[in-house]
Structure 1
Amino acid sequence: MTLWILFIAERSKITVLAIRDKKKKPLFVGEVVLRNTSGGPRPHKFKVKTDKGEELHPPSEITDLLRKANRIMIAKDGDQEQTSDLVAMLQGFQLSADVVNVCRFCVLKDMFNFLNRRSIKYHREKICEDCAREELYRVLASSQTFYSDEACERLESILLKTRDLDRTLLMLSPEDLDHELTRFDSIAASKEISGTRIKELPIRRKFKDLLLKKSDTLLPVQSLSVESGLLKGQNQLVTSVTATGKTLIGELAGVENILRNKGKLLYLVPLVALANQKYDQFTKRYSNLGIQTSIRVGSARIKASKNDKSKRTLDSDIIIGTYEGIDYILRTGGADMLGQVGTIVVDEVHTIEDEERGHRLDGVIGRLKYVAPSAQFIYLSATVAKPQLMAKQLGAKLIEYEYRPVPIERHLVLCPEHSKIKIMTRLVRDEFNKVSSKGHKGQTIVFTNSRRNCHRIAEALPMYAAPYHAGLTSEERKKVEVSFGKGKLPVVVTTAALAAGVDFPASQVIFESLAMGIEWLNMQEFLQMLGRAGRPDYHDRGEVVLLAVPNKKYTSNQGDTEDAVAIKLLKGEMQHIGVDYGEEEKTEEILATAAVTHSVKDLKRIHANMLADYSVDFLIKRLERSKFLHRKGDSIKLTRFGKIASGHFLSVSKAFLIRDAVMMEQSPLTTVSNLEFFDSVYFKYAARISAALNINLPSRVFQGASLDILFEGENMQKLDISLRDQVFEFASDFLTCSCKDSPYCGCAEHKFSEKIISIRAEGYDPVGIVRKLENLYGVTAYPGDVLGYLDNVVRNLEAVEMIARAYSKKDIASEARRLRKQVEG
């Protein structure tokens, strides 16, 4: 056994610790009192601490222990007088002691630990690692905020990295940001692959000259693609992070195939906003080559803007379209109108795993392979969990490039909700004051979880900031895109839903929220969003900042809190979701495919090329029983009812709802407003109402208990007269049903939807509709949402009209046609 004796000299006492085998917990803790004798200072009293108090021991015991000890130590920086007496006492026994640094916090807990260069700074002294950890967790536990286990572990890692507890604890008050401590990790840029020289590419001279105006060489992923047969017709799945140049790969193949007379380019994207942006870019870029570009984004028949001069014909060389926009052409028998197709580019192909839209992308790819069998397919994505598997399923060669063109730093800031605006203000200002080596100012994208938050944050930031989301008009979105592109707009605040694709050349991305709506972001969504930070043509590096609120949840049944989600996202890897759909979605795709072939054999071949598994014979039998199609041997043909369902993207259940409504001679207005509610409506004066009622009223009119709160007890009487009149008007128009579950029965949403359609029928455009709703009821909406809803109404009214004619309900058909024309404008 190794025995050490440690003395800690204080003004009022000398503490002694007997340490066995270097253990932190001593054999005992005692106290020695010295007295001066003729031979010098000697032990006078010796007390040992016990569970019951203190026991008095003979002074000779401490003398015996000192003679047996392998090492005697005196703690540094003790009381000088007491230390001098200890040294003199030991000299009198012909013993010596080492002066050592020990942790004061350990001593206070009757424990022992040395201090060294690895010890941790705290309040102008050093303490041991264990005590620093304990003090960190004590402060976390005593704070008014609950930190997740993941957040606590993160703070502990910062403590061990910095060896500074004071600095670590400043992370709990993040308004004075410590850039070094918030940094979670850094991802270095890589330029391992030298770019192919553009002048050496085997492409048409005029195309080559156009490309040379921007660069002499291709980016690495572009070079890999070319080397792997891009210009020789090879189908490819290109996976690489944002801003590595994937779009040009599709353009290289598509434009060169056009110039070689191999057929036109179809460029498919998931969002209307992205389609509009690509349309503008391609029109400007390739018109000088004599190449015409057009756009197809669904039915898009609402005449809302006189300034929209977009070309929409199918005889263009390049057709930019949303997935549904291109699929609509196929579903309505327009495949032949496409003419010869040489190249099909599918951007954001990971959408194929999306729960809601995946089946339609899977379907349109399968149908395009059938109607354009000789076309070259280029699939693009920044986030595919299992790229080798997807490439095999799509029948494409994988081009995988895992490196970033510019370095990126990822930062985590744990902060209370009320600090976010102040933190974002500093981050945006600091970034906008920087200028890259390419001469571009730093600009920021702030991602939040709702459209209302886009506006709230943009208004709260004390600089030029703009909201951007699908609820805005195309003119409003375009204005923001142009301003940001010119470097005049320091920050744009957008929703996670627009993370995919829309080109904002930002150097910094801030996550104000880690949710999309009320659901936490998944890994694919997170990577899509952070990938917007740092563009090689603009910036030298990218910054990503997560503002995570400890203990924050959006719903009570969410297991994780936002701080835990943040760390899991930063540490996580993409999960392969797989492709599978419900029977309803599969029957819709079978119907859509039956619009492009009359052969069961071909239909099976088309669906065999899709990623989901289809029981084709079973689904055909179901559709045949429901009178959507006829089958005779290998021949298959849609009925009139089936053609209507396919061309209008109707599920089987929705088609039945329309047919039943028609047979009951229900008014078309009632039918279409029952098919789809317009519920994206907000209290315009939610803040005033909340202040008057002293409650936090949800801003969405049809969300949760909003209406119950408003009409509870004497609440109405607390509102000023103008607000009260508008609320009463809303109630009298939409809350007059006698349903037991009112206002949760759906009647209010149905009546409100009818009102939207009726106002449009009076000749109001989406902006005018919103203004009228504000004046009448004190509620508001986004014009883009109104436009999208009315576009669906037109499609549904056309379906009602056609189904009514199919079943000889001429009056219903005429009424539906009249209303459709009014809604179209």
Structure 2
Amino acid sequence: MTLWILIIAERAKITVLPIRDKKKKPLFVGELVMQTTATGPRPHKFKVILNNKEEFHPPSELTELLRTADRIMIGRDGDPQQTATVISMLQGFQLSADVVDVCRFCLLKNMFNFLNRRSVRYHREKICLDCARDELTRVLSSSQVTYGEEVCDRLEEVLLGTRDLDRTLLMLNPEELDHELTRFDAIAASTEVSTSRIKELPIHRKFRELLLQKSDVLLPVQSISVKNGLLKGQSQLVTSVTATGKTLIGELAGIENILRKKGKLLYLVPLVALANQKYDQFTERYSGLGIQTSIRVGSARIKVSKTDSMRRSLDSDIIVGTYEGIDYILRTGAADMLGYIGTVVVDEVHTIEDQERGHRLDGVIARLKYSAPDAQFIYLSATVAKPEIMAKHLNAKLIEYEYRPVPIERHLVLCPEHSKIKIMTKLARDEYGKVSSKGHRGQTIIFTNSRRNCHRISEALSIPSAPYHAGLTSQERKKVEVSFAKGRLPVVVTTAALAAGVDFPASQVMFESLAMGIEWLNMQEFLQMLGRAGRPDYHDRGEVVLLASPGKRYTGDQGDTEDTVALKLLKGEMLHTRVDYGEEEKLEEILATAAVTSSEKDLRRIHGNMLADYNVDVLLRRLEKQKFLQRNKGSVELTRFGKIAAGHFLSVSRAFLIRDAVLLDQGPLNIVTNLEFFDGVYFKYASRISATLNVNLPSRVFQGASLDILFEGENMGKLDIALREQLFDFASEFLTCTCKDSPYCGCAERKFSEKIITIRTEGYDPAGIVRKIENLYGVTAYPGDVLGYLDSAVRNLDAVEMIAKAYSKKEIALEAHRLKKEIEG
């Protein structure tokens, strides 16, 4: 056993700490009082403190303790005069001491620890790592903000990396951003795969010349795909991060097959905005080769200038469509009109695992494989949890490329909600001031969780920016796309829902929110979004910044807070979960498949290859019993009612709702507004109302307690006259029902939906409808949402008309047809 004696000579007192076996806690704490004698300084009084008890011991005990010690140490930062006195005393006993650096914070707790290279800087001095940890914990626990365990662990990681507590604590002060500290990790770029020279590809000469205008070589993932049979008809699942060149793989196969007379190209995407962009790109890129492109999306029934100018013919060489747009052709028995298909490209194929839309993508892929058995299928995705499993399911060769074309850094900024705008402005402005080696300015995508936030953030940023979401008109979105692509727009603020959508060449991605709506992002959504940062043709690197507010939740039942979610996403991996659709979805897919084949054997085979488990016998029996289809000696035939349901994407329950309403002689307008409300309505002056009433009024009109707050007590009387009159008009027209549950009975939403349709029949386009409801009622909406609702109403009126005809309700059928045509315009 070893015994050390540490002496701390301060001006007011001299502390003696006997340390056994290098432990932090001393055997006791001694306090020494010196006296001057003829032979020099000597111990005069020696007090021992042990277990909170103080006792005076003979000074000789200290002398004996010093003589038996293996090592005597004196703290370097003591009082110089007192230190000199102690050294003189030791010399009088023929003893020597080492001057050492010890942790002052430990001494305050009557503990001991050396200072060394592992020690931590704090307030212009060094303290030991243990005390630094304790101080960090104290600061975090005394904060008004509650930090999650993961954040505390992250801060400790930063402390260990920097050995600087001051810098570490700066992470809690967003006004002092330290780029080195906010960096969570860095992902290096890699192009280790050898590339293929385009001039050596066995493709049509004109196609080769077109490709050579942009590059002499293929990107790595493209080369891997070609080497694995892309140009020999091999179906492939290509998984690689955004901006690695996946889209061209689909084009290489599709365009070459067109030029070699091997069939046309179907290009399937999840979003209308993405379909519009691909349509424009393919039209511009390939019309010079004599290749025609057309588009098929859901929102195509309402006549607006954009859709009027777009080619929709099925005899085109390339047909770009949304999943539902292409599936509609199959469901209505028009598969033959597609002609001979050589290539099917399915973009964002991971959507197949989505609980809401997955069944329809799974279904349309299976039906296309049946309708075009010789076609080459190319599936593209940046985020697949278990690509081997999906490749096997799709019967495709897996082409996997895990490397980024440009390096990317990921940063975590802990900040209160009110600081986010200032931070985003600074980061976006700094980024726009940078120019890459390719000559492009740095541009930023900001992801937030709602459309309203897109506009709020864009308006608040003191740098040019624009909101971008599906609620805008196609012309508005196109304007933003062009401005951003030309480098004129520094920032686009968009929703998480468009993460996998339109290609914005951004160098920086910021997460203002880590939610989609009120639900936290999952790993797949997060990776889709951060993958937008950095484009090899534009940038030298990508930046990803997560702005996380400690303690923030969107609902009371959310266990995690935003700071905790941020770290889980940064550290996490995608989890593969088995997808199984509900019975309603399975019944809908059986009906859709029965529209493309009358063979029960083929129907079973089609559904046997789908992602979910289908008990075809049970589902067929139920549909037969409900008179959606008939079975006879191995054949399946949809009834008239079944054809209507399949072609209009109607679930069994919704088909029955329409049929029952028709049989009860309800009017078509009443039927369609009962089927689907238009609830994307907002108070135009929500912020002004909130300030006047000193309440936080939800901006959505039909959300929560909005109407109760507005019409409670004397609240209306506090508003200015013009706004009060608008809101009274709103109440008198839409809030006059006598239902017990009013205004939560749905009558207000249904009446407002009728108003939207009625204004459309007066000749207003979606933007005009928005202007009119603003003037009439002081409420507003997004034109894109209005367009989507009107398009849905047209499809539902289609179904009402056909079902009314099927049940000999001629007047209802005629009224539905008339109303449908008026809405279409």
Q: TM exceeds 0.5? A: yes
Structure 1 residue 96: Cα displacement: 0.8
Identical amino acids, percent of aligned pairs: 80
Query: 1:458, 1:577 → 2: CA distance?
Result: 36
1:594-609 map, 5 Å: 594-609=594-609
Deviations 1:359-410 (CA, angstroms, capped at 9, x unpaired): 0000000000000000000000000000000000000000000000000000
Query: 1:307, 1:708 → 2: CA distance?
Result: 41
1:265 match: 265
1:766-777 map, 5 Å: 766-777=766-777
Matched, 1:239 2:236: no
Moved over 4 A (4+): none
Query: 2:431, 2:52 → 1: CA distance?
Result: 63
Query: 2:800, 2:224 → 1: CA distance?
Result: 51
Query: 1:48, 1:80 → 2: CA distance?
Result: 24
2:530 match: 530
Matching residue's letter, 2:185: D
Matching residue's letter, 1:403: Y
Query: 1:579, 1:694 → 2: CA distance?
Result: 47
1:27 match: 27
Q: 1:298 to 1:52 in 2, by over 3 A?
A: closer
1:551-562 map, 5 Å: 551-562=551-562
Structure 1 residue 299: Cα displacement: 5.6
Query: 2:226, 2:307 → 1: CA distance?
Result: 40
2:622 match: 622
Question: SS at 1:736's partner residue?
Answer: coil
Deviations 1:222-272 (CA, angstroms, capped at 9, x unpaired): 000000000000010000000000000000000000011000000000000
Matching residue's letter, 1:738: T
Matching residue's letter, 1:117: R
1:730-769 map, 5 Å: 730-769=730-769
Q: Which moved more, 1:570-579 or 1:399-408?
A: 570-579
Query: 2:629, 2:92 → 1: CA distance?
Result: 110
1:310-321 map, 5 Å: 310-321=310-321
Matching residue's letter, 2:270: P
2:498 match: 498
2:479 match: 479
Matching residue's letter, 1:256: E
Query: 1:224, 1:606 → 2: CA distance?
Result: 30
1:194 match: 194
Matching residue's letter, 2:149: D
Query: 1:10, 1:698 → 2: CA distance?
Result: 62
Matching residue's letter, 1:349: V
1:791 match: 791
2:544 match: 544
Structure 1 residue 577: Cα displacement: 2.3
Deviations 1:688-734 (CA, angstroms, capped at 9, x unpaired): 10011001111111111111111112111111111111111111111
1:390 match: 390
2:778 match: 778
Matching residue's letter, 1:568: K
Query: 2:670, 2:153 → 1: CA distance?
Result: 56
2:218 match: 218
2:142 match: 142
Matched, 1:358 2:358: yes
Q: Which moved more, 1:437-446 or 1:167-176?
A: 167-176
Question: SS at 1:19's partner residue?
Answer: strand
Matched, 1:612 2:612: yes
Query: 2:9, 2:137 → 1: CA distance?
Result: 30
1:68-147 map, 5 Å: 68-147=68-147
Structure 1 residue 298: Cα displacement: 2.1
Matching residue's letter, 2:407: P
Structure 1 residue 52: Cα displacement: 4.1
Conservation of the 8 A alpha-carbon contact between 2:306 and 2:474:
no
Query: 1:283, 1:405 → 2: CA distance?
Result: 27
RMSD: 0.8
2:430 match: 430
Question: SS at 2:459's partner residue?
Answer: helix
Structure 1 residue 306: Cα displacement: 6.2
1:264-413 map, 5 Å: 264-298=264-298, 300-305=300-305, 308-413=308-413
Conservation of the 8 A alpha-carbon contact between 2:306 and 2:475:
no
Conservation of the 8 A alpha-carbon contact between 2:237 and 2:397:
yes
TM-score normalised per structure 2: 0.99
For structure 1, which runs of at least 5 residues remain unmatched after alignment?
none
2:702 match: 702
Matching residue's letter, 1:790: L
Query: 1:334, 1:507 → 2: CA distance?
Result: 43
Query: 2:463, 2:389 → 1: CA distance?
Result: 46
Query: 1:367, 1:560 → 2: CA distance?
Result: 41
Matching residue's letter, 1:627: K
Deviations 1:143-183 (CA, angstroms, capped at 9, x unpaired): 11111111111111111111111111111111221100000
Query: 1:520, 1:307 → 2: CA distance?
Result: 35
Query: 1:373, 1:612 → 2: CA distance?
Result: 21
Query: 1:111, 1:741 → 2: CA distance?
Result: 68
Matched, 1:3 2:20: no
Question: SS at 2:708's partner residue?
Answer: helix
Question: SS at 2:487's partner residue?
Answer: coil
Structure 1 residue 578: Cα displacement: 2.3
Q: Which moved more, 1:572-581 or 1:554-563?
A: 572-581
Matching residue's letter, 1:607: H
Conservation of the 8 A alpha-carbon contact between 1:684 and 1:779:
yes
Question: SS at 2:380's partner residue?
Answer: strand
Query: 1:437, 1:302 → 2: CA distance?
Result: 45
Q: 1:299 to 1:119 in 2, by over 3 A?
A: closer
TM-score normalised per structure 1: 0.99
Query: 2:33, 2:308 → 1: CA distance?
Result: 95
Query: 2:58, 2:667 → 1: CA distance?
Result: 105
Query: 1:690, 1:182 → 2: CA distance?
Result: 36
Structure 1 residue 50: Cα displacement: 3.4
Matching residue's letter, 1:657: L
For structure 2, which runs of at least 5 residues remain unmatched after alignment?
none
Deviations 1:717-769 (CA, angstroms, capped at 9, x unpaired): 11111111111111111111122222111111111111111111111110011
Deviations 1:201-232 (CA, angstroms, capped at 9, x unpaired): 00010000000000000000000000000000
1:682 match: 682
Matching residue's letter, 1:110: N
Query: 2:788, 2:102 → 1: CA distance?
Result: 70
Deviations 1:249-301 (CA, angstroms, capped at 9, x unpaired): 00000000001100000000000000000000000000000000000002611
Matched, 1:713 2:713: yes
Query: 2:299, 2:250 → 1: CA distance?
Result: 25
2:166 match: 166
Conservation of the 8 A alpha-carbon contact between 1:485 and 1:504:
yes
Question: SS at 1:398's partner residue?
Answer: strand
Query: 2:706, 2:109 → 1: CA distance?
Result: 54
Conservation of the 8 A alpha-carbon contact between 1:283 and 1:292:
yes
Deviations 1:631-676 (CA, angstroms, capped at 9, x unpaired): 0120110000000000000000000000000000011111100111
Deviations 1:448-505 (CA, angstroms, capped at 9, x unpaired): 0000000001111112100000000000000000000000000000000000031000
Query: 2:675, 2:55 → 1: CA distance?
Result: 85
Conservation of the 8 A alpha-carbon contact between 1:299 and 1:795:
no
Deviations 1:40-64 (CA, angstroms, capped at 9, x unpaired): 1111111112344421111111111
Q: Which moved more, 1:298-307 or 1:84-93?
A: 298-307
Query: 1:306, 1:30 → 2: CA distance?
Result: 88
Question: SS at 2:305's partner residue?
Answer: coil
Query: 1:276, 1:759 → 2: CA distance?
Result: 27
1:184 match: 184
